[in-house]
Amino acid sequence: MFEQSSLKFLEKLMLCSGPSGFETETARLYRDYLNGFAHRVYTDVMGNTVGILNPEAEFKVMLAGHYDEIGFQVVYISDEGLLYFRANGGIDKLTVPGTEVEVLTANGGIPGVIGKKPIHLTKEKDRNTAVELEDAWIDIGAEDKQEAEALVTIGDPVAVRRNFRFFGKNRIMSKGMDDKIGAFVVAEALRELSRRQLAIGVYTVGTVQEELGLRGATTSAFGINPHVGIAVDVGFSTDLPDINKKMLGEINLGGGPELNRSADNNVVLVDRMLAAAKAHDIPYQLTCGHRASGGTDTATIQLSRSGVATALVSVPNRYMHTPVEVCDLRDAENAVKIIVETVAALQPGDTFIPGLD
């Protein structure tokens, strides 16, 4: 399994709070970690953090995992001192009431809880439906608007309460597993690659604002201009009741990372990854993903400039976009191994043109 220093970094990363557009805390931690082994590290104006091996090399590989997370944002403070909010990213409204949160203010985090009208006062026909966000609020314990305004400012981001834990033999639970587990994987891949002799340049990027439309990957890919791009995100574990395996395939938690075959996955690069996994006896699971293309940083990296050879590696995930997402460390570790062996074998001049022998 991972070294203790890596697991300590993982824990710290998961305990960061960085809703899309407000990833400052996460970027700071990520930058500090990459500085331990990368040849160059920087955070750009968007908030993407980049760690580089061999920055002078002409042939470039980009590894990307987004470290933003879904959350909320304060839009109004009522006379009662309650905070009204909007979603920041794709919120599962069924999980919102009763969620413990933290308002990220300029002076530190303010604890709160998302409240709604008690079920006893709700019309029977509405009791089994999701609450609209406009009918919910955040209670921070303030007695009135003046007290709340002394603590919170309009526009402050709101994150789910920090809740990372190890449980079972190999599994971890946290809010924001999507996709800080991916950001962790590409950081660990860079650390392992820093111990190899490489003929190419490698750029690991913790990207931002993926949950709002792949925004950080768009700008960082344009700036890096890579030949190859590998993104790591979470994928749907289907080893749960009532998930349609006929449409999503057989994906088991702990069965290995998912290697994707879809339109935003270059067939030559995917074949190389499959060959690396087989040659080094690394477990993996083959998937088509839940759509033909798009949805992750892979899609926008692929379309950067004149095009990039891209591949998506997915870490199976349970309960995606809820406060209690679950992944298996073995899947993350094997994702690192496949990426490292694939990238270490690349050479300047390698081509990824489909159908070219």
For residue 45, is it within any domain? yes
Rounded CA gap, 324 and 68, in Å? Answer: 16
pLDDT average, residue stretch 341-350: 96
**Strand ranges in the chain using DSSP code E only, listed in sequence order:** 40-43, 49-53, 60-66, 71-77, 82-88, 100-105, 108-115, 137-139, 157-160, 165-167, 171-174, 201-207, 228-236, 258-260, 285-287, 309-317, 325-328
140 and 205 assigned to the same domain:
no
233 and 118 assigned to the same domain:
no
For residue 48, is it within any domain? yes
pLDDT average, residue stretch 90-103: 94
In this prediction, residue 290 carries a pLDDT of: 82
60 and 106 assigned to the same domain:
no
Q: Which of 114, 136, 160 is the last residue of a domain?
A: 160
117 and 63 assigned to the same domain:
no
Proportion of the chain above pLDDT 70, given as a percent: 100
For residue 11, is it within any domain? yes
In this prediction, residue 357 carries a pLDDT of: 62
- Which residue's structure tokens are 């909007």? 86
Rounded CA gap, 21 and 68, in Å? Answer: 8
For residue 190, is it within any domain? yes
For residue 350, is it within any domain? no
For residue 240, is it within any domain? yes
- pLDDT tens profile 66-81: 999 999 999 999 999 9
Give the chain's largest Cα–Cα span: 71
Ranges 111-120, 215-224, 319-328: which has the least confidence: 111-120
pLDDT average, residue stretch 129-145: 94
Q: What share of the chain is helix, strand, coil (3-state, %, to 5)?
A: 30, 25, 45
For residue 166, is it within any domain? no
Q: Which of 132, 160, 188 is the last residue of a domain?
A: 160
For every residue of 118-186, which 3-state class applies, written as one string?
A: CHHHCCHHHCCCCCCHHHCEEECCCCCHHHHHCCCCCCCEEEECCCCEEECCCEEEECCHHHHHHHHHH
In this prediction, residue 118 carries a pLDDT of: 83
In this prediction, residue 27 carries a pLDDT of: 98
190 and 296 assigned to the same domain:
yes
50 and 95 assigned to the same domain:
no
88 and 63 assigned to the same domain:
no
In this prediction, residue 217 carries a pLDDT of: 98
204 and 314 assigned to the same domain:
yes
pLDDT average, residue stretch 38-49: 98
In this prediction, residue 266 carries a pLDDT of: 97
Q: Which of 160, 195, 227 is the last residue of a domain?
A: 160
pLDDT average, residue stretch 87-114: 96
pLDDT band at 311 (very low <50, low <70, confident <90, very high): very high
318 and 221 assigned to the same domain:
yes
The pLDDT of residue 126 is above 80: no
Range of the domain at 54: 4-69+175-344
Residues marked as catalytic: 210
The pLDDT of residue 127 is above 80: no
35 and 102 assigned to the same domain:
no
- pLDDT tens profile 231-286: 999 999 999 999 999 889 999 999 999 999 999 999 999 999 999 999 999 999 99
The pLDDT of residue 187 is above 80: yes
Proportion of the chain above pLDDT 90, given as a percent: 90
The pLDDT of residue 198 is above 90: yes
215 and 289 assigned to the same domain:
yes
63 and 209 assigned to the same domain:
yes
CATH, residue 26: 3.40.630.10
- For 44-74, give the DSSP string: -TTS-EEEEESTT-SSEEEEEEE--B-EEEE
- CA 346 from chain center: how many Å? 26
The pLDDT of residue 299 is above 90: yes
The pLDDT of residue 125 is above 80: no
In this prediction, residue 17 carries a pLDDT of: 98
Number of helices and strands (H, E) in the chain?
Answer: 9, 17
Rounded CA gap, 271 and 262, in Å? Answer: 13
pLDDT average, residue stretch 138-144: 98
CATH, residue 84: 2.40.30.40
The pLDDT of residue 356 is above 90: no
Query: Domains in the chain: how many in total?
Result: 2
For residue 18, is it within any domain? yes
